[in-house]
């Protein structure tokens, strides 16, 4: 016999579960776990019990699950019921069929929280889904400690997941407290399975990085891997603001957009404050590209630039003196950087390559250290002046002075199997121009324009 409500009641002895009351086929109450009431408190009527669950539910609604203990398969299921009369009528009909029933609070999977599984040294999760998200592509996968700390930063509380590494835990976490223990963490299943040798595969983009913004997720990973990240406040579309990072000693503010997926140079980066809501409205009127806005403490920039890993694992570092925005959008060319800056940037790379593999990053150097202001995964196929390799019959020449949007338009019109692009101008291979072409996998290279100086009016 498989009594699902008994299993749920036993689970409630160990963890916070969704509030519920259950009945046998005669509509005699079996169990109840409702916030503010005694364990398995007996109600005088079905109406009173249902009212208690509805009143304590964030959504003020319930689900009804029905089952036959002789058959482990679930039977009829109702979701999101709010009318007490309709709920009672459904229970009466199901009981007449000889079924047991569980009435539990509705928990909205789109409330801004996440669901997932933790086992051994791995935690996996995704927003807008049930714990079965781990069976689907795009689930975030992190080492246990890093994942728990990431969730603590984002949601402001440490998930109640202090279970043995040998226990497989299906969970969900929520911005508003739920369950009969009135907590942010709901446990759906506990199973002791023994030692797990699985390792997390830190990889993004994933569904959670798209949820909070690709740039946001990369900076969180950098911070949790103990890289210097400027103090950052995230203003998100879907969850409450949160902050992380370290003080830089500077009192200026930068505003950065964080799209759901990386879109190099497409959206605003601005020194100084601006209205983040107006910025979202202006640059993403359809609400489908920018996941969040970052308010980031500034850095007294001595040098700024970018790092990519090219062909044959070559580390390519480029940059300029001062702030790096003009370099990244092709308005200034890379300069020869001091050896101590190059070595410091390489050391930052070495700190994360073992856990993340090859990465791309944007960095800023002040008088004390290298700061990471963007972090992305993946090596490139770049080498020398070649941005993305390929054998094509025709190359379009593109003057970088036309800007990134014109480059994106050109990319949309060409056939990458037979056509490529030559960038004309002083632009770095690690710039956003290079990023855009690499992401589009367009055969491309850089052809620097020779500088001609007219000295005829100079004094001799």
pLDDT tens for 198-218 read: 888 898 999 999 999 999 999
How much is the average pLDDT of 415-423?
Answer: 89
SS3 content of the chain, % helix, strand, coil (to 5): 25, 30, 40
Asked whether the bond before 163 is cis by omega within 30 degrees of 0, the reply is: no
Q: From CA 318, how far away is CA 305, in angstroms rounded?
A: 6
How much is the average pLDDT of 113-118?
Answer: 96
* pLDDT at 342 (0 to 100): 96
pLDDT grade for 428, boundaries at 50, 70 and 90: low
**Which of 45-54, 135-144, 237-246, 371-380 is predicted least confidently?**
371-380
pLDDT of 377 above 90 = no
Backbone angles phi, psi at 235, to 5 degrees: -105, 105
pLDDT of 452 above 50 = no
Residue found under tokens 């969970």? 171
* pLDDT at 193 (0 to 100): 85
* pLDDT at 458 (0 to 100): 34
pLDDT grade for 2, boundaries at 50, 70 and 90: confident
How much is the average pLDDT of 110-132?
Answer: 95
How much is the average pLDDT of 164-184?
Answer: 96
How much is the average pLDDT of 75-92?
Answer: 95
Q: From CA 343, how far away is CA 417, in angstroms rounded?
A: 38
Give SS3 for 370: strand
Q: From CA 460, how far away is CA 455, in angstroms rounded?
A: 10
Q: What is the pTM of this model?
A: 0.83
The dihedral formed by the CA atoms of 281, 285, 286 and 288, expressed in degrees to the nearest 10: -60
pLDDT of 333 above 50 = yes
Length of the chain: 460
How much is the average pLDDT of 132-152?
Answer: 94
**Other beta carbons within 10 Å of 177:** 15
pLDDT of 27 above 50 = yes
For 314-333, b/e burial (b = at least 16 CB within 10 A) is ebbbbbbbebbbebbbbebb
* pLDDT at 331 (0 to 100): 66
**Contacts for 44 with CB less than 8 Å, ≥ 6 apart:** none
pLDDT grade for 382, boundaries at 50, 70 and 90: low
Q: From CA 210, how far away is CA 212, in angstroms rounded?
A: 6
pLDDT of 309 above 80 = yes
């Amino acid at each position: 016999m498989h009594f699902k409500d008994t299993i749920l009641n036993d689970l409630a002895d160990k963890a916070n579960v969704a509030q519920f009351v259950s009945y046998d086929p005669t509509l005699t109450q079996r169990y109840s776990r409702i916030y503010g009431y005694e364990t398995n408190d007996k109600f005088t009527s079905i109406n009173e019990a249902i009212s208690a669950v509805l009143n304590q539910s964030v959504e003020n609604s319930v689900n009804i699950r029905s089952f036959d203990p002789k058959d482990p398969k679930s039977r009829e299921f109702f979701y999101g019921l709010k009318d007490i009369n309709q709920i009672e009528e459904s229970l009466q009909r199901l009981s007449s069929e000889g079924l047991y029933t569980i009435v539990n609070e509705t928990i909205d999977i789109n409330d801004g929280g996440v669901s997932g599984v933790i086992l051994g040294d791995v935690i996996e999760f995704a927003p807008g889904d049930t714990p079965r998200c781990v069976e689907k592509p795009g689930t975030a996968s992190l080492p246990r400690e890093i994942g728990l700390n990431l969730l603590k930063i984002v949601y402001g509380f440490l998930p109640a997941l202090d279970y043995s590494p040998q226990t497989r835990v299906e969970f969900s976490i929520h911005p508003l407290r739920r369950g009969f223990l009135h907590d942010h963490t709901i446990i759906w299943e506990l199973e002791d399975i023994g030692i797990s040798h699985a390792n997390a595969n830190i990889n993004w983009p994933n569904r959670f990085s798209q949820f909070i913004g690709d740039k946001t997720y990369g900076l969180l990973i950098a911070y949790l891997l103990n890289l210097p990240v400027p103090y950052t406040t995230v203003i998100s579309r879907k969850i409450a603001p949160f902050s992380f990072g370290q003080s830089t000693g500077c009192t200026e503010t930068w505003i950065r957009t964080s799209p759901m997926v990386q879109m190099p140079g497409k959206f605003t980066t601005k020194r100084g404050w601006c209205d983040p809501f107006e910025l979202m409205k202006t640059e993403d009127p359809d609400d489908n590209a920018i996941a969040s806005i970052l308010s980031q403490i500034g850095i007294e920039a001595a040098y700024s630039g970018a790092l990519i890993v090219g062909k044959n694992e070559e580390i390519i570092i480029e940059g300029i003196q001062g702030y790096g925005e003009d370099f990244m959008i092709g308005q200034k060319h890379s300069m020869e950087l001091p050896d101590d800056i190059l070595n410091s940037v390489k050391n930052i790379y070495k700190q994360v390559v073992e856990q993340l593999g090859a990465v791309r990053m944007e960095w800023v150097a002040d008088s004390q250290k290298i700061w990471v202001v963007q972090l992305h995964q993946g090596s490139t196929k770049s080498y020398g002046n070649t941005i993305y390799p390929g054998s094509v019959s025709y190359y379009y020449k593109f003057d970088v002075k036309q800007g990134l949007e014109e480059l994106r338009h050109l990319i949309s019109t060409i056939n990458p199997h037979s056509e490529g692009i030559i960038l004309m101008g002083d632009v770095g291979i690690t710039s956003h121009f290079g990023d855009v072409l690499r992401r589009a996998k367009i055969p491309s290279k850089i052809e620097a324009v020779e500088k001609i100086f007219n000295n005829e009016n100079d004094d001799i």
